[in-house]
Structure 1
Amino acid sequence: MLKEDKDPEVSSVLTREDTAGVPDGNPEPAEGGGPSGTSARGGNRLPVSRPFILTDCLLKYLLIFSNLIFSVVGLVTLALGLWGLAEKESLAQEKIGHIGTDPMLLFITLGLMLSLLCLSGCVGAVRENECLLQAFSAGLLVLVSAQVLAAIVLYTLQGQIEGYVRSVMLTAISRYQDDLDFRFIVDEIQTGLQCCGADTYQDWEINIYFNCSAPGVQACGVPASCCIDPLENGTVWNSQCGLDTRLLNEFSAQSVVFLGGCLGGAARWIERHAGVIGTVEVVFLGVQVLSTCIAMRQLDNIHYEKCLVSVLQVDTFCTCNRH
């Protein structure tokens, strides 16, 4: 007989198992000293499973469902990045040298990491695979730690980050006509924030096509995305609305294009939406922490079931506890 101070759930399983097939519910000693129908070592026993708990079941399927959704998002992001590289022929021999600065690599990296992480969590929860759940939990812990560290670095190095962003913006302006990715990003920023250039609309002087000494028609102008009303008659995009605007004085130019730079516009946008941004970050971080806790709970259940199997089938004298 096993000790009386064992886990109640284990004791109940042992009682049901050891009295199976005995009419009066009292096990009779069998050869070898074990209860009826069993032997001291390796006897035939009933299948062992942990007790059904509704909360654990709901948490398991919540983990599966959430990871399935994020896996699809990751795969779509990965496919978008690969499509972008193929569409722009970035892997061609003459362009392969500049692939390190291709924004599509960011989509590919994020999509690959997200899909692999979430697929490991989804499959691990479905199959109750200890290795996959451990990898998923470790990956989430690293991700959460990286986000917290990034937030601290961003807050501490605000001045240096502003200088870096200005440098990137000026580089994008100088390569506006030569790189379709930079053109798309700059146009989206200038249209969305209603700005022009990094600090001022005069920043477009560094572009060889918009420089006032350039021979083309774009000389001393700005892109159409700088215009206050780039749509002609509200329907057609007027690509020439910014021509010669830097030849005008600021009073005349302000009725045609935005004079303020995008760095100031971005700072004002962040200030206006600080509450929403903070809420989204907290919710996103909370989802990751919750997923980690659910995965750890699943691992605890797996370990608990293994302990039950060890107690009932190997006759080890141990206590199985949930954490």
Structure 2
Amino acid sequence: MGWFPSFGRFFFFWERRNHFQNGENKPLIPKGDVKKSEGTSAATYLGTHDSSGSHTSSSLSCHEGSTRASSWSVFTPRVLSSSSWSDYILKYLLITSNLLFTVLGLVTLVLGLWGLINKESFAQEKISGIGTDPMLLFTFLGLVLALLSLTGCVGALRENMCLLRTFSAAVLLLLVAQVLAVVLVYSLQGQIVEVLRSGMLAAMVRYLDDLDLRFITDEIQTGLQCCGADTYRDWEINVYFNCSAPGVQACGVPPSCCVDPLENGTVWNTQCGVGAQQLDEFSAQSVIFLGGCLGGISRWIEHNSGVIVTVVIILLGAQILTLFITAHLLQKIRWNRAQHDVYLKSLQ
């Protein structure tokens, strides 16, 4: 490593020039002494001038210190900015993932707001039912996801410790909330079923008044091949499907309850469920699905329990990995700043 001193002297030659100008480093032998010692030998000169030896040694030590300082000036920035490839990979992995989730959050937020505005959910006659509007859930989730991901993205990009701490605290809070939710769902299955029943019955009441609730209900009934919450007769709670209703749909069920809702496999038959509630179960089973969707959901969860557990583990693991990457980045930023402070003190 002997090339460091030469490299340092090459780049910091102006420092030595300033030292000469300030008189800190003087030539080993003054010009006047050279004239005096032209006729004498080196041994005689050294013998008659005792102070020159000490002056020479002090000049050498000073020159050596200058060389060492210049070498340190060249080497120190490399030490301060030294980062392995893994550090850069983890940093930009955190930036990229948060950037993607920021875009996803903004898309979800715009979709939710568009749905609320398009359905005029903020109108005075509809504002009372906005709490059960699924578009409101999209809006809230999109806003939280966009803000959280943007905080992590900007914090990692700018190496801002305040933003990174906020991001890690929010992720940790969400992680704890998700773990508690999983534990509560597993331990309070009976209460969860009641909550699902209440939610589905509320959606059935507003089936023809809310396009989003109609779409979700139709997807559940078609996908799980079910009808109603517990049985197909639950549709009597809807004012349009109630047997006392004056319309054509009285005592009927939605077409998504039908076993074969498509005519000739192409056209949706909206009248296939008309009068289905008046039929007995033996006659109705050839036309509509008799079982409720709560039982279908329970069967679907039991059949796909392995996939559900795998997805939950992957999601929780990704959040834990994000916490470790953020903690590593914070530690790296802290170490670089500490080294920078040490370097500045060494120059004073």
Which residue of the partner structure matches residue 36 of structure 1? 66
1:229 maps to 2:217: no
Letter in 2 for 1:122: C
Percent identical pairs in the alignment equals: 60
Deviation of the 1:245 alpha carbon: 1.2
CA pair 38-85 structure 1, distance change in 2 beyond 3 A: farther
Displacement of 1:21 after TM fit?
Answer: 2.6
Q: Which amino acid aligns with 2:321?
A: L
For residue 35 of structure 1, report the CA deviation from its aligned partner: 4.3
Greater RCO, CA 8 A, separation 6+: 1
Q: Is the 8 A contact 1:38 1:45 kept in 2?
A: no
Post-superposition offset of 1:99: 2.2
Mapped partners of 2:205, 2:106: distance in 1: 33
**What residue in structure 1 maps to residue 302 of structure 2?**
271
User: Which residue of the partner structure matches residue 159 of structure 1?
Assistant: 190
Partner Cα distance (1:28, 1:76) in 2: 69
- Tell me the matched-pair count: 293
2:236 alignment partner, one of 192, 205, 216? 205
Contact 1:37 1:44 in 2 (8 A): no
Taking the TM superposition and a 5 Å limit, the aligned residue runs for 1:102-141 are: 102-141=133-172
Return the alpha-carbon distance in structure 2 between the equivalents of residues 58 and 90 of structure 1: 45
Structure 1 stretches lacking a partner, 5+ long: 1-11, 317-323
Contact 2:8 2:74 in 1 (8 A): no
- Structure 1 residues 126-174: Cα deviation after superposition (integer angstroms, max 9, x where no partner): 1111111111111110111010011111111111111111111112112
CA distance in 1, matches of 2:346, 2:181: 51
Letter of the structure 1 residue corresponding to residue 329 of structure 2: Q
My pick for the range that moved more, 94-103 or 219-228, is 94-103
AA aligned opposite 1:49: L
**Within 1, Cα distance between the matches of 2:103 and 2:194?**
36
Secondary structure of residue in 2 paired with 1:256: coil
Of residues 113, 116, 120 in structure 2, which corresponds to 1:82?
Answer: 113
Residue of structure 2 in register with 1:240 after alignment:
271
Structure 2 unaligned spans of 5+: 13-58
Cα RMSD of the aligned pairs, angstroms, is: 2.7
Normalised by the length of structure 2, the TM-score is 0.78
TM-score (norm. length: structure 1):
0.84
* Alpha-carbon distance in structure 2 between the residues aligned to 1:78 and 1:36: 61
Per the alignment, residue 9 of structure 2 pairs with 21
Encode CA deviations 1:178-233: one digit per residue, 9 max, x unaligned: 22232222111111111000000011111121111211111111000100111111
Which residue of the partner structure matches residue 321 of structure 2? 290
Give the Cα–Cα distance (whole angstroms) in 2 for the partners of residues 116 and 30 of structure 1. Answer: 57
Q: Choose the corresponding residue for 1:300, options 314, 318, 331.
A: 331
